[in-house]
Amino acid sequence: MTERGSKIAVVTGAGSGIGRAVAVELLRTGWSVALAGRRTGTLQETAALAPEAAALAVRADVARPDDVAALFAATVERFGQVDLLFNNAGTFGPGGVPVEELPYDAWRHVVDTNLNGAFLCAQAAYRQMKEQDPQGGRIINNGSISAHTPRPHSVAYTATKHALTGLTKSLSLDGRPYGIAVGQIDIGNAATDMTARMQTGALQASGEVAPEPVMDVADVARTVRHMAELPLGANVQFATVLATAMPYVGRG
């Protein structure tokens, strides 16, 4: 949030899951939010969860430069500025596919969405935050636990999430002269449609299939809001929020 006191956010992937939860949390606590996603209907459903708030639904594919440019232009036209980008849009790609069988088109789709899309949105946000008066703002990238540790058969997703950590660090460094704070949240097993299979059985490194605990996605949303509402002189560089008993720390 900038010192001007306004709270204007862009949330990508806002039509479902973590993006929807974060967008609704921001809307309910006084932010105005541009909701970005590929399906207008789901974005409108997100906006309807906070009907009294100021929401703008913008259909955008983050992997398309023209869509990203139009998203930020619409946001500035409606709200005048951008204080926060939650860079959340992403895809896991085809599940359970060994690396030697992964089609190149599937690899490219994951890279285009998770990495190229995050770059394009961060670049557009950076440009706006640098140009607006006063300068500054915040970018929060959704990194995932896979930014640290992979699951079996997740080469494309894991590679992009590791790359996102490098993007976060580079943007954070380059943003310093302009009051642009950049951080990353790495999330493990938030209860969404994407993680529904975790509760019934997920492939483990041992080759076994076992159910895993999940956490309320609202806890992720509150963490993002905490990061977002810090003064620009303070930054959560990296935060990890995960289901307490998920198989991540240690060996099982």
Q: Cβ contacts of residue 55 below 8 Å, gap of 6+?
A: 23, 27, 32, 33, 34, 35, 46, 47
Q: Which of 168, 243, 39, 124 is nearest to 160 (CA)?
A: 168
Contact yes or no for 139/178 (Cβ under 8 A): no
Q: Is the backbone of residue 142 left (phi > 0), alpha (psi -120 to 50) or beta?
A: beta
Per annotation, catalytic residue among 104, 157, 178, 248: 157
* Spatial strand order in the sheet of 180-188: 55-59, 32-37, 8-12, 84-87, 137-142, 180-188, 238-242
- The verdict on whether 157 is a catalytic residue reads yes
The secondary structure of residue 150, as a DSSP letter, is P
Long-range CB pairs of 233-236, under 8 A, 24+ apart, other chains included = 234/181, 235/138, 235/172, 235/181, 235/182, 235/183, 236/183, 236/185
End-to-end CA distance of the chain: 39
Question: Which residues are catalytic, by number?
Answer: 157
